[in-house]
Structure 1
Amino acid sequence: MRISREVTKQLPEEVKWVDAGLTVAARMIDDNARGSLHGGRLPDAVADLVQASRSVQRSLYEAIKLALSQGHTFDDLANESHLSTEYLREAYESFDPSRDARPGPGEDGREPWRVLG
């Protein structure tokens, strides 16, 4: 699977940051994790997937922040993502963008984003 990077129009600066995070995650998965998996290096594949997850979590936070700044509400976003408004709001507000995103529970036993399963 190759990730197409064709951009047909110039992206606003704030969208470029979200796009960059998604690009890093996609490359981590497509190049690194798949290569490690196919090469039988399972610990490396797991590490690559954790890093990709971290990048996606930060991009998710930034995308929600951008959507809110453009007038969307947590209700709008929760409806589109099939989550409860309260869950999405709490996950967003508890996410600390100054720390590395966590792919699992933190010291308090809570997971900042459990939207994948």
Structure 2
Amino acid sequence: MAVGGRAALCGAISLYSDDIHRPSQGLSIYRAIVAKQLTVQGFNVLNWFSSWHEAYRALYDLVLEGKLRGKELIYEGFDKVPEAFLKLFQGGNLGKIIVKIRD
């Protein structure tokens, strides 16, 4: 990130499967945050629930205009369900994980 950059954090699915005897060690980029004078703020979507319909409409319009596209990792076949599920906890994907069962 650039000096003075800002980051919003939401969710922590990569931590859901932490070993109770060896929990995560916390933020591993602490020095970079300090050195670059970054602002990091957590948020919870429930704080904005009253704006749900307005946000949905705005995002929907951006999708229709081709200005907003989601990333998807698609697995083919029911036999790939376990692999796709485990991928959720490995942190190696960007976007939505989909298992395509049939056309």
TM-score normalized with structure 2 length = 0.22
Which has the greater radius of gyration?
Answer: 2
Task: Report the structure, 1 or 2, having the larger strand content.
Answer: 2
Task: Report the structure, 1 or 2, having the larger helix content.
Answer: 1
If asked which structure has higher relative contact order (CA below 8 Å, sep 6+), I would say 2
TM-score normalized with structure 1 length = 0.21
